[in-house]
A and B are shown apart, each in its own frame.
Chain A
Amino acid sequence: MKDITRQQRRAVLLGLGLLLATAVLLLLGASVGSTGLESLTRMRLDPLALQIVWDIRLPRTVGAWLAGALLGLAGAVAQGLFRNPLADPYLLGSASGASLGVALALLLLGALPATSLIAPWLLHLGLTGAAFLGAVAAVLLTLALARGVQHTLRLLLAGVVVGVVLGALGSLTMLLAPEVMQTLQAFILGSTGLVDWTACALMAGVLLPCLIVAWAFSHVLDGLSLGEATAASLGLPVSSMRAALVVVLALATGTAVAQTGLIGFVGLAAPHLVRSVAKTTHGRLIFLSSLMGGVLLTAADTLARWLLAPQELPVGVLTAVLGGGYLLWLMHRQGSGGRLP
């Protein structure tokens, strides 16, 4: 059992390491911003500094972690469900659905007479809702086109079709109404700037049940990795469980996208990074990938706020650059005799 325990020990160590990284990053996230570390040290005396830390920095740091965790979880589920290491959470069309939803909402808002009278929080809530509805509608459309969740390949192809068509519609909206372009572009690049405590509570409220359901069905993902027929021969009710996992995938992705926009590569890279450290069953991968996603996005978000402070980079740009670099490194390793982890 020596090898088995070694892999298990690595998984446990990775989990502890990621928890530690989370704690450090939360602290870092609270100290980085346009007013610098000063706000953290003067927090006790200065109510403004306290407000900056408590109402701006902490919720967006915690929010980045939660959105990353949702994407990491969705990535692990997607890669297991589609038995494809390159699957990412946006595979079922949720990304383009969400951006089309935001584009249409912006268009609608522009057509309203007194937009300036609407409270900003209501505006934010409306856009968040539109993104979520768009993401869920896109997944439902994909499922309808694929006629259910039975056929993996059909599901993948339908997801690609929905992604391309809805993406084109989103671009068309942008072309017809150039005034929505800037807001939409900001959404597509992804940002944690608008995340408040309510958004955090919402994401946490979705993350927890999604984690539990994904963990409860992790045996199905293990079984599926040996092929669908083998999984069925083991007595696993493959289709109903697959439907449940698709719901988890759609819900986790839709919630993250609605709060933080289209942040790329976190969902793709998190499970890969976990597997490159410890090979483990999906029961553990689900949790580790979630933790990894949270750590990745919090780190990227802190970096995005710190690199050009007091200016900040859109975090989506940073994850795309870092994620792209990681995939290139992976490719290079594969080319020199390694394998995709």
Chain B
Amino acid sequence: MKPIALHASAIRARLGNVEVLHGIDLALPAGRWTSIVGPNGAGKSTLLKVLAHLLPHEGSVTLLGQPLATLGQRARARQLAWLGQSEVAGDDLAVFDVAMLGRLPHQPWLGTPSAADLAAVEQALRATQAWDWRGRTLGQLSGGERQRVLLARALAVQAQVLLMDEPLANLDPPHQADWLLLVRELVAAGKTVVSVLHEISLALQADELVLMAQGRVRYQGACADAATHRALEQVFDQRIAIHALAGQYVALPRP
């Protein structure tokens, strides 16, 4: 049996008075990249927040075999990093300081950054090509540049499991390609990556696909499977078609 990184069972969650997730059971394999896709309002971001223990919910989530609810906040933060969707970001913080926030779960309270912290921050900023602007503030960066800094912040945690909500927002194609390489490196190093993506062609680059609609998981399967492609077309009401092109899969709108 494949080891499981995140196991969610009977998850129900509400935003305000509206139930958004209606009983979700999901097992995400460790050491793999899983993409979550689905129409707008399917509950993808909410599910990701529940998996990161950031939203009150019914049901339970286990992280690498341990129930999230019993794991201490800092212990959880060391093992699981979360990158939110269009999070507001302090314009006044320097890029370096933002990335260093990713090391908070590793630092003693009021402690100064260790050599390991500095090395992790440099590695993360170099991985997203943000090292050159480490002295600038977020307010001085474009949307895409800012996204790369926030991505570096999540990478700097060096967590075993990385959850990312729309990590490619505002990124230009070369940096989207860089992000793909980065995720593959992480997975090759044994990390688990879970991403919510609206760009289907990019999501199909993952190992596994989770399809969501109306607060439920509709399908889970390997990205290379034809059955997954059919399920994908069905979730999007047959408005897209999956084609094989140059050894990859692309989603094109169906006229």
Contact = CB atoms under 8 A, between A and B. Distances in A.
Contact of A281 (B74, B80, B93): B93
A219 B102 CA distance: 11
A182 B7 CA distance: 68
Interface residues of B, number: 39
Interface in B193-237: none
A226 interface: yes
Contacts of A281: 93-94, 97
A279 B90 CA distance: 11
Given A233-B54, A233-B82, A279-B137, A83 B87 contact: no
A41 interface: no
A229 interface: yes
B104 A223 contact: yes
Given A83-B90, A230-B153, A281-B93, 7 more contacts: A1-B134, A219-B104, A226-B89, A229-B82, A233-B80, A233-B81, A235-B76
A112 to B, nearest CB: 50
B175 interface: no
B244 interface: no
Interface in A193-250: 216, 219, 222-223, 225-227, 229-230, 232-237
Interface in B80-116: 80-82, 84, 87-94, 96-98, 101-102, 104-105, 109-110
Contact of B77 (A3, A83, A235, A279): A235
A2 B104 contact: no
B104 A235 contact: yes
Given A216-B110, A235-B104, A227 B89 contact: yes
Contacts of B251: none
B101 A222 contact: yes
A259 B98 CA distance: 38
Contacts of B98: 226
A339 interface: yes
A293 B156 CA distance: 35
Contacts of A279: 92-94, 137
Contacts of B80: 233
Interface of B: 49, 52, 54, 72-78, 80-82, 84, 87-94, 96-98, 101-102, 104-105, 109-110, 134-137, 139, 150, 153, 157
Interface of A: 1-4, 6-7, 83, 216, 219, 222-223, 225-227, 229-230, 232-237, 275, 279-281, 339, 341
Given A4-B135, A233-B54, A275-B92, A223 B101 contact: yes
A101 B88 CA distance: 38
A100 to B, nearest CB: 34
A208 to B, nearest CB: 17
B169 to A, nearest CB: 14
Given A227-B87, A233-B54, A222 B135 contact: no
Contacts, number: 90
Contact of A236 (B81, B104, B135, B136): B104
Contacts of A275: 92
A339 B91 contact: yes
24 contacts: A2-B135, A3-B134, A6-B135, A7-B135, A216-B109, A219-B104, A222-B97, A222-B101, A223-B104, A225-B89, A226-B93, A227-B87, A229-B54, A232-B54, A233-B52, A233-B54, A234-B77, A234-B102, A234-B105, A235-B74, A235-B77, A235-B78, A279-B137, A281-B97
A198 B102 CA distance: 45
B153 to A, nearest CB: 7
A233 B50 CA distance: 11
A209 to B, nearest CB: 16
B77 A226 contact: no
Contacts of A341: 92
Contacts of A222: 90, 93, 97, 101
A4 B81 contact: no
Give the residue among A223, A226, A227, A339 with the most B Cβ atoms within 10 A: A226
Contacts of B97: 222, 281
Contacts of A227: 84, 87-89
B87 A4 contact: no
Interface centre among A2, A223, A279 (most CB of B within 10 A): A279
B53 to A, nearest CB: 8
Contacts of B49: 229
Contact of A229 (B75, B84, B93): B84
Contacts of B135: 2-4, 6-7
B94 A7 contact: yes
A227 B83 CA distance: 11
Nearest to B72: A235
A83 B76 CA distance: 25
